[in-house]
Structure 1
Amino acid sequence: MRSTGIVRIAVRLIGAVAMGILAAALLVLVSLQGGTPQVERLSPPVPEDAEYARVFMLTMEHIGRQPDRAGTVTGTPEQFNGLFRILARSNDGLRLRTDLEDGAVRLRASVRVPGHDWVGWLNLTAVLPPSAATPEPTDLRIGALALPPGPTLRLIAWGLDQRFGPGTGAQALDMLSGLAVEGDAVTFGITMPAGSERLLSRNAISELYGRDMVSRARVVEEVTFLEQQVAAGRLQRSGSYADWLRVVIERAAEAGPDATADAVMAGFMALNYLCGSDHFVSVLLPPSGANDPPLPSARPGCGRADLRGRVDLRRHFTTAATIKLISSRNAAVTAGEAKELSDSIHSGFDFTDIAANNSGIRLAVLLDGATPADLRALAAGIASEDDLIIDLDGIPQIMGRSAFRMRFGELDSPEYLAVIDEIERRIDALPIHAHTVGTGREG
């Protein structure tokens, strides 16, 4: 056993050295290729982009529920590019573009290399054939440098295994199980190998968050605790939602300095399960393990507990705060904007929903990295919802797409940013943010 362990360590060390040498070589090659992005700066997303993103997510969820865990995703290049515009909104160092050229699918990516300003942007290009049962690039490049597709993909798979554990690379590459182009429609076959949902989603979230997620068992524990508080009469399924937030923050403060961050994350995942947006419940839960206890039913959850007299504002507030805690402020803001853009096609764009999102995000900024003493002080400062969410008087409410376009044009227009700035100014004035005015806007 001991010699096996030593061999395993040696293999990992050799692999790390090899990857380091390869990375250094690639950086040198990239520096010779030039550091400017080949994909132009992407414009802000529009309602159709958000609507396709919603359909895409629902399709992927549907595939994951099938007995064979297989299905297809279809879209035009413009629809895929709309999805990419939303992704770029949450990460301005990632630009992606899809085009059809003589029936082949051309994928281009420009990725800003963090911490290496002398490199700038890494430019990648892959060309996929018009039809293939097992798609493999016919042309793969870094900058102008052509790479052998087969060995490069195997190297990528090996690197994923070293970073995330055995089998990750194969699972990631095997998810793309087919490709067909018909007119301007591109259909990708998707297969989710057994265990891929747990392994890949956990690793993706861990990368976003910077450390491992809490376990589903930990979230179950927090959900059970909240249900017990309701049964004991300490929490109500009506009236102000502020009490629910206060209880979760107080409980996290009791976890001790080494467990505070996990307690906050688990508490808000539980809140999102019981009180957040239905669209994000499954996305924001840790994947289920074989030995994890089942989650209690999410219904009735928080019932009619609300913020500013509206249950929907409670959902927006909770989900945005949870996304911020497990990923980033940009991801939380982007998710909220995308939801409103999609709604503008159906019910309407509502800045009061954005106000609830941003108020929740700013609370999460205070929670992120907080000590037990910080949490106790924060909980003590929540006397009512007036400490948590802004006064909505004068904030534009539901408007259809044509009305939104006439008044605001698009995201990032001066008119749009003026409303966002007013929302953030009001958040700055909330009592819990009095000592950190403005610091959470970019947190």
Structure 2
Amino acid sequence: MRKYALPVVGVLVAVPLALLTILWLAIEDRPRTDRKVILTPEHVGRAKAIIDTHRHRASPGMLAVARVRPADADLAANYLASRLGNGSAQVAVADRSAIIRLSLPMTSTALPAINGYLNLEGTLLQTDGLPALRSVRIGKLPLPDAFTELIALRVEDWLRRDSEYWAGFDALRQIRISRDELVVVYRWIDAFPHDMKASMVDEHERGRLLSYQSLLAANSTRNGGVGSLATILSQLARGTSPAQSAGEAMADNRAMILVATFHVLGISLEKLLPEAARWPHPPPQKITLDGRDDFAKHFMVSAAIAAYADTALADAIGLYKEIDDSRYGSGFSFNDIAADRAGTKFGEKAVASEDSARDLRGQMASGIEDRDLMPEWKDLPEYLSEAEFKRRFTEIDSPAYRAVMQKIEHRVADLRILR
């Protein structure tokens, strides 16, 4: 037995040492990619144009092509890394290849030694189909291409077992890479929209949405054809007892905000969740905030985006709409931006923490008025054409523009429900 003791001891020592060496090589002290996410109205406009084009032109079964600027692909990667992993990403595009860099924070209370950053880098090479991942490096640790291919096959097998994820992955046919654009070729699948909608909402979330939808339907019948946003939100906040929401106030608030948003916009939840076609339907209502239905829409859309996404995205979308209105619609409105900012802060507070979520629900349940949601707005400029906006404010971020925005921010911060 003694002759086996030394090899066994060697293995027992070597394996932990090997693992520690891999961790030392893979995890680093600082991120190699560290970038802020900066969303502008132009980014939102380009994304909207791509979506609108393919929504109207693509039909089930046909091959379609989407063209994406490298800068927009880079922004999208960085946004997703920040949103999903609190990290940063960068995509550097060349002809027929793209280098992807990703930095993610690693924290562990159980194993403080592995705290640090996971820095990944890899190259996507254009093929006749989807790009192939090569030259992957995790920190100081390079991965053999054969090992990378094996991992990619395992990921594909995992996707195949989930029909909802696989439907989207399988729709992709080719990605062509150049310095000027990424060309994405995909086949539109008839069941794809239905599958994607179903995958966005889990079972618990559906239960919450059904509960608030039922409550809204019952209250809307009594409220009549015109309602106040403050009244709607107060009624919904009273609908779930603290016992039912213990430890889940943030999730309850998200569902409440989403149901209220769809109602304010006059859109059926069926657009998001097909099974909602069988749920109680509130009668159509005109919902106003401080006497204006456009304020209610701005407030709730921004609140929903902030609750389900983040503040930067809500701000960019709200500002994009105002710039678009100055060119083609009713004009640039600082009043609408005030409603956007108030809604964003409301949605932010609704999901900031369990304590914040409960505090907000308590204030709404005790009764609120429109003035608690919408700051003073009557002295703010609105209906500005593009030419008038440029004459008075020159451009976004000019001193004159910042002065008005600072006034709006102070007024929003003073709203009772947000203190």
Q: Which residue of 2 aligns with 1:237?
A: 225
Q: Which residue of 2 aligns with 1:222?
A: 212
Query: In structure 2, what residue type is equivalent to 1:77?
Result: P
Q: Which residue of 1 aligns with 2:341?
A: 358
Cα deviation, 1:258-290, whole Å, max 9, x if unaligned, reads 365544333322212211487x9788x4x54xx
Displacement, 1:77? 2.1
* Percent of aligned positions that are identical: 19
- Single out whichever of 73-82 and 49-58 deviates more from structure 2: 73-82
Q: Is the 8 A contact 2:87 2:105 kept in 1?
A: no
Q: Which residue of 1 aligns with 2:96?
A: 104
* 1:269 paired to 2:237: no
Tell me, what secondary structure is at the counterpart of 1:37? coil
* 2:125 equivalent among 123, 128, 136: 128
Displacement, 1:385? 0.5
Q: Which residue of 1 aligns with 2:69?
A: 76
CA 112–135 in structure 1, closer or farther in 2 if over 3 Å, else same? closer
Which stretches in structure 2 are left out of the alignment for 5+ residues? 1-16, 109-113
CA 385–361 in structure 1, closer or farther in 2 if over 3 Å, else same? same
Displacement, 1:378? 2.8
Displacement, 1:39? 6.9
**RMSD of Structure 2 on Structure 1 (CA):** 4.7
Q: Is the 8 A contact 1:50 1:342 kept in 2?
A: no
- Single out whichever of 316-325 and 78-87 deviates more from structure 2: 78-87
Q: Which residue of 1 aligns with 2:290?
A: 308
Q: State how far apart, in whole Å, the 1-side matches of 2:358 and 2:249 are.
A: 7
Displacement, 1:53? 1.4
Q: Is the 8 A contact 1:253 1:375 kept in 2?
A: no
Q: Is the 8 A contact 1:352 1:397 kept in 2?
A: yes
CA 405–71 in structure 1, closer or farther in 2 if over 3 Å, else same? farther
* 2:238 equivalent among 244, 250, 273: 250
Q: Is the 8 A contact 1:220 1:295 kept in 2?
A: no
Query: In structure 2, what residue type is equivalent to 1:110?
Result: L
Is the radius of gyration larger for structure 1 or structure 2?
Answer: 2
Q: How many residues align?
A: 392
Q: State how far apart, in whole Å, the 1-side matches of 2:84 and 2:402 are.
A: 19
After TM superposition, the score normalised by the length of structure 2 is 0.71
Cα deviation, 1:94-141, whole Å, max 9, x if unaligned, reads 54444442x214143333425489634624333331x52233235544
Which stretches in structure 1 are left out of the alignment for 5+ residues? 1-20, 207-211, 438-443
Q: Is the 8 A contact 2:106 2:116 kept in 1?
A: no
Tell me, what secondary structure is at the counterpart of 1:252? coil
Displacement, 1:200? 6.6
CA 432–182 in structure 1, closer or farther in 2 if over 3 Å, else same? closer
Cα deviation, 1:334-366, whole Å, max 9, x if unaligned, reads 443444455555445433223212212333345
Displacement, 1:314? 0.8
CA 307–266 in structure 1, closer or farther in 2 if over 3 Å, else same? same
Displacement, 1:386? 0.7
Q: State how far apart, in whole Å, the 1-side matches of 2:320 and 2:82 are.
A: 10
